[in-house]
Amino acid sequence: MTDTRVGVDVGGTFTDVALVHDGRLTTAKVPTTDDQSVGVMAGIEKACDEAGIDPDAIGSFTHAMTVSVNALLEEDGATTALVTTAGFRDVLEIGRQDRPALYDLHAEKPDPLVPRRRRYEVVERATTEGIETPVAPADARAVAAAIADADEDVEAVAVSLLHAYAHPDNEATVARVLREELDVPVSVSHEVLGEFREYERTSTTVVDAYVTPAIDRYVGNLTERAAAAGVPEPRIMQANGGIASADAVRERAVTTAMSGPAAGVVGAGALGIPFDDLVTFDMGGTSSDVSLVRDGEAERTTEAEISGRPVGVPMVDVETVGAGGGSVAWVDGGGALRVGPRSAGADPGPACYGNGGTEPTVTDANVVLGYIGSGSALGGELELDVTAARDACARIAREADLDGPLAAARGIYRVANANMARAIRSVTVERGHDPRNFALAAFGGAGPMHAAALAEDLGMTDVLVPYAGGVLSASGLLAAGEKHDAVRTRREALAAVDADAVADALAELAADVRARAVGDPPVEFAADCRYAGQSFELTVPVEGPAFDPEATAERFEAAHEATYGYRMDDPVELVNLRATATGEATPVDPGYVGGESVAAARTGTRTAHFGESDDDSERSAPGRETPVYDRDAFPVDGVVEGPAVLEQAETTVVVPPDWTGTVLADGTLHMALGAEAGEQGGAGDV
């Protein structure tokens, strides 16, 4: 039977599709729709048409979406109630003592997703030692009745009781009663995030409840549409970089947060390239996402925030900024040019789309700079309106007192790059990594146009643009394996730990993650440890399920020294135990063939601007006649010297002056400052 797989990633502006059939990769890009499932199926149909197959030939369907993160960013999730221990009603609002900006006396935290009027208390008490006051089922029923009789129609309930991570009996009783009495989903903290720190645990549980109805509706609609077309039930990309069944994510909706960005990082990590350490740079229509791949593995975190709200489930560590191709340029009160975070979206989109948009965007700036031309077909079919792009940039030039549309376009391009450079520094320099030791893997519809200039600003000399770079998140879905995580808090000194009891706990965690997985995947174990008195932990691997306290302590101390530069004489504490079940991944071979020669791939020239002068006036920067190439026709080992523009249906690559690009065996374009890429890739027909 033919192995036919499809991956679909929904972005803020476009929905990307990657289809593998008979070993051949077909890609497609369609506008994102209000009901995302409509655009998803339209993209699948388009890719199938191009591949010459019917949708019912598809054997596997993986999907990344923005439903949950959009609900959080736009604050339009479910009307949610919270049930907590009497006296702890305001934990969600009090949060932590730290402020978003330490020296800003006016900085405000986001409003809690559950206002005080929808927070309910139940008399109970658990400590780390056990249950002191059992919850009375009658009290739980009274809370259920109060929720049912509330003036607002509650659509979901979160339950987070004190120390339920250690002793969940009271929480389980409350959840059972609520599920019996109310016809709404109930999220329970010891099931969502079974670890200590009540604020983070409560926040994560509330987020899960808040997005569950939207995820349930969306996944249900998509499953029905897919079934009607003969397409298998979708498997969903989770924030941890692994996929799960539709039923699994409907039960734990919070795991879908940052689903799309995680898929892109997985795709970058799966590239067959001679670099193990990457900064991934995914610039789409609405935002740019950056992350790290170290030693071939995506960096993960359990301390993420989305829209200022802690989400403690394991996820790929992604930093997001509101700078995408559709990000709108504007002038602030002081007359400074700004870019984003507001986006023109897919409708009307940038002015150059010709759909009625008039505001200047990053894409319009790229058109005016000549990186995208009038003959470019975005997504393979959307012809661009160069005049509309210039008019939009001319308007912002007048507002910002700049010398014409070209000066405005230069400014927009530079400001967008500065925003993205800050994001890259936050995941490298601010964490002790030198960006010059990494290659920049650029993808997304807009990323390859900015990558080389951005890398040069950061002192990086290598840029990698995958062949399917315009839809790499969708391609990454095809390369992802199943992944499930579980955590349990167990706070005790490693020197006094009962190794057999810890081994039993690890075995229980392994059973938990395997129960959610298909088949019997291997399980890896880890422990969060810290020195006594510290308020933060480092995660280190453990052999598991057998547990060696001394080996774990040594791993922690080595990790502490590598991270902070020193060891301490204080005893080491065990804080959390973790288990991760990971299914086998299936790498995607893009089947790159290419053309006969670089010369044959050349399609023409156009005037492009590469910052030749510090003077941004129209007169001082006439631009350069720049060769334009069909990237699909580039031969393996073909070399191109900048300046040059390489076009394909889903993205455009800009090779600035002083950069050289070489096509690797899998179609990845390796750009390097100077002649390095050409020397590595071999001589080509320029």
Q: How far is 649 from 663, CA to CA, in rounded Å? A: 17
Looking at every residue in the chain, the average pLDDT score rounds to 89
Question: Greater confidence, 586 or 359?
Answer: 359
Q: φ and ψ at 353, to 5 degrees?
A: -70, -25
549, 495 contact by CB (below 8 A): yes
C-beta atoms surrounding 236 within 10 Å = 29
What integer pLDDT is reported at residue 684 of this predicted model? 30
Distance of CA 593 to the CA centre of its chain: 30
- Bridge partners of residue 80, in order along the sequence: 156
Mean pLDDT computed over 194-206: 95
Tell me: do 407 and 495 sit in the same domain. Answer: no
Mean pLDDT computed over 231-257: 93
Lowest mean pLDDT segment, chosen from 149-153, 158-162, 589-593, 639-643: 589-593
Q: φ and ψ at 129, to 5 degrees?
A: -90, -25
Tell me: do 387 and 508 sit in the same domain. Answer: no
Does residue 439 fall inside a structural domain?
no
Does residue 609 fall inside a structural domain?
no
Residue 487, pLDDT above cutoff 50: yes
Share of the chain above pLDDT 70, in %: 95
Q: Which two tokens stand for residue 375?
A: 């003959």
Does residue 309 fall inside a structural domain?
no
Q: How far is 312 from 208, CA to CA, in rounded Å? A: 11
Tell me: do 121 and 196 sit in the same domain. Answer: yes
Range of the domain at 383: 336-416
Where does the pLDDT of residue 116 fall: very low under 50, low under 70, confident under 90, or very high at 90 and above?
very high
Q: Which two tokens stand for residue 199?
A: 């604020």
Tell me: do 490 and 408 sit in the same domain. Answer: no
CATH of the domain at 570: 3.30.1490
Q: Which two tokens stand for residue 442?
A: 């650029």
Summarised one tens digit per residue, pLDDT across range 552-580 is 999 999 999 988 889 999 999 999 999 99
- The residue ranges of DSSP E strands in 156-287, in sequence order, are 156-160, 186-188, 235-237, 243-245, 278-283
Residue 615, pLDDT above cutoff 80: no
| 3-class DSSP state of 193 | coil
Residue 540, pLDDT above cutoff 80: yes
Does residue 521 fall inside a structural domain?
yes
User: Of 165, 186, 210, which residue is a domain's last?
Assistant: 210
Q: How far is 255 from 93, CA to CA, in rounded Å? A: 23
Q: Which two tokens stand for residue 360?
A: 């200047």
Does residue 197 fall inside a structural domain?
yes
Does residue 431 fall inside a structural domain?
no
C-beta contacts of 140-147 below 8 A and 24+ residues apart: 140/173, 140/174, 140/177, 140/178, 141/177, 141/181, 143/83, 143/174, 143/178, 144/177, 144/178, 144/180, 144/181, 144/182, 145/181, 146/120, 147/81, 147/120, 147/178, 147/182
Summarised one tens digit per residue, pLDDT across range 38-56 is 999 999 999 999 999 999 9
Does residue 221 fall inside a structural domain?
no
Residue 682, pLDDT above cutoff 60: no
User: Of 210, 227, 261, which residue is a domain's last?
Assistant: 210
- The residue ranges of DSSP E strands in 403-448, in sequence order, are 439-443
What integer pLDDT is reported at residue 491 of this predicted model? 92
What integer pLDDT is reported at residue 308 of this predicted model? 85
109 residue type, one letter: K
Q: How far is 133 from 128, CA to CA, in rounded Å? A: 13
Count of domains forming the chain: 3
Tell me: do 168 and 90 sit in the same domain. Answer: yes
Question: Which DSSP string corresponds to 607-648?
Answer: EE-----S--STTT---EEEEEEEGGGPPTT-EEESSEEEE-
What integer pLDDT is reported at residue 580 of this predicted model? 95
16, 443 contact by CB (below 8 A): no
Does residue 194 fall inside a structural domain?
yes
What integer pLDDT is reported at residue 376 of this predicted model? 61
Mean pLDDT computed over 237-249: 92
- Bridge partners of residue 602, in order along the sequence: 629
User: Of 416, 447, 462, which residue is a domain's last?
Assistant: 416
DSSP code for 159: E
Judged by phi (left if over 0) then psi (alpha if -120 to 50, else beta), residue 237 lies in: beta
Summarised one tens digit per residue, pLDDT across range 251-292 is 999 999 888 888 888 888 887 777 889 999 999 887 888 999
Q: How far is 47 from 30, CA to CA, in rounded Å? A: 10
